[in-house]
Amino acid sequence: MVNNGKMKNDNTKKIDRLNKLTEVDFPKSKEDIWKLMEGKLTANAKEDKKVRKLGIRQLSIAASIAILIGIGSFMRFYRVDYSTIAGEQLTVNLPDGSVVDLNGQSSVKYNPYWWKVNRTVKFEGEGYFEVEKGKYFSVVSNNGITTVLGTSFNIYSRDENYEVNCLTGKVQVEVLNGLKEIIYPNQQAKLNNSQLVVSESTAIHSTDWRNNAFYFTSESVKRVFREIGIAYNITIDVQADEIYSGNFKKSDNIEDVLTIVCEPLNLKFVKQQSGGYIIKRI
C-alpha cells in the first residue's frame, strides 16, 4: 500500500523545481519599466513635432518662392496696349517720359513694370516718337526694329511698307533679313524690294499727319489713298498705280481731297452706296 503523505511531498517538490525553471528574473520594477516606456513615447512625440515643424518651414519657403516667381512673371509679362481707329489720333506717355503720337489705325504695346529693365515697345501703323535719353529704346514692328538712345523719329509700318524718318539724334534701323543702317537727322531708311535704302529727306514733313496734313513725295497712289481713307475712316478701292507728289490739308469735305489727288493724274473717283469710293483711270 502506497503512503499518500509521501507522494504529496514528492509532487510538491517537483512543482517547485518546475516553477524555478520557468521563473523570469526582472531586473527592474514595474514602476521603472513604465517610466522607461513613457520616456521613449515622449521622445518619439518630440521627434514627430520637430519633423512637423521642419515640414511647415519647408512649405513656407516653397510658398514664398512660388509667390516671388508669380510676382516676377506678372511684372515681366504684364502689358498695356493702346490703339487707334481710323480717323483718330492718340498721345501715349511711356513710363520714362518718352512720348508716342499714334496716327489712325496704329497700336503700341509695352510692359510697364519691366520698363527699367528693357525699354521695348511693340508697334504697328504710323507713329511719332520722342525718346528720353537712357538705355537702349527699341521699337519692334512686323517689318523691322528701330533702336535709339535719345532722339525723335517717325515710323511707318503697314503691311509690307516700312519707313523710318529721323528728326533728331540718330536711329539704327534693322529689317527682318538682317540688313541694318544708321540714319541721322533729315535722313530716311525705307524698305524697298527687300533692300534697306537710305536717302536724304525733309523729315519734318513725315509728321505732317499730326497737324491733319498730307505730304507725299513720289509715292504710290495706293498708299496715298490708303492714308486718306484712314484719316477719314472710309474705304477707298484704288484701281490705279500712278506715282503722286503733293501736299494738302485735311478738308471737311472728303471729295475735295480726292479731287486734289485725282485731277493731276487723270483719275476719277466714284462714290459707292456703302459710302466708300473707287478710284480709277478716266
What pLDDT, in 10s, does the model give residues 174-195?
Answer: 999 999 999 999 999 999 988 9
- pLDDT tens-digit map of 38-57: 555 555 555 555 555 556 66
pLDDT of residue 126: 98
The neighbouring-strand residues paired with 121 are 110, 139
Q: Which residue do the cell numbers 480709277 mark?
A: 280
> Cα-flanking dihedrals φ and ψ of residue 95, to 5°?
-55, -30
- Tell me how far CA of residue 105 lies from CA of 87, 128, 147, in angstroms: 8, 14, 23
Just give the CATH number of 212-281.
Answer: 3.55.50.30
For the cut 60, the answer to whether the pLDDT of residue 99 exceeds it is yes
Most confident of 47-51, 132-136, 223-227: 223-227
Query: What is d(CA 188, CA 213) in angstroms, rounded to the nearest whole number?
Result: 19
Q: For the chain, what is the mean pLDDT?
A: 84
Q: What is the mean pLDDT of residues 106-124?
A: 95
Angle of CA points 263, 269, 270, to nearest 5°: 155
Q: What is the mean pLDDT of residues 113-133?
A: 95
For the cut 80, the answer to whether the pLDDT of residue 223 exceeds it is yes
The neighbouring-strand residues paired with 196 are 191
Residues 6+ apart with CB under 8 A from 111: 75, 76, 77, 78, 79, 80, 118, 120
Residue 172's CB: how many other CB atoms inside 10 A? 17
For the cut 80, the answer to whether the pLDDT of residue 197 exceeds it is yes
Per-residue pLDDT band for 248 (boundaries 50, 70, 90) equals: very high
Burial 59-86 (b: 16+ CB within 10 A, else e): eeeeeeeeeeeeeeeeeeeeeeebebee
Per-residue pLDDT band for 123 (boundaries 50, 70, 90) equals: very high
pLDDT of residue 164: 97
Q: 11-25, 36-50, 71-85, 248-262: which has the minimum mean pLDDT?
A: 11-25
Domain spans in the chain, listed from the N-terminal domain onward: 80-206, 212-281
Q: What is the mean pLDDT of residues 111-119?
A: 93
Q: Are 231 and 104 in contact (CB under 8 A)?
A: yes
Better pLDDT: 65 or 227 = 227
Domain 80-206 matching CATH 3.40.50.2000: the answer reads no
pLDDT of residue 22: 45
Q: What is the mean pLDDT of residues 79-88?
A: 96
- pLDDT tens-digit map of 20-29: 544 445 455 5
The amino acid at residue 122 is K
**How is 97-145 classified by DSSP, letter by letter?**
S-EEEE-TT-EEEE-GGGTTT-EEEEEEEEEEEEPPSSS-EEEE-SSEE
Per-residue pLDDT band for 252 (boundaries 50, 70, 90) equals: confident
The neighbouring-strand residues paired with 276 are none
Map residue 153 onto helix, strand or coil. strand
Q: Are 239 and 268 in contact (CB under 8 A)?
A: no
Class of residue 238 by CB neighbours under 10 A (exposed 0-12, middle 13-18, buried 19+): buried
Query: What is d(CA 199, CA 190) in angstroms, rounded to the nearest whole number?
Result: 8
Asked if 80-206 and 212-281 have one fold, the answer is no
pLDDT of residue 245: 96
Distance from chain centroid for Cα 32: 72
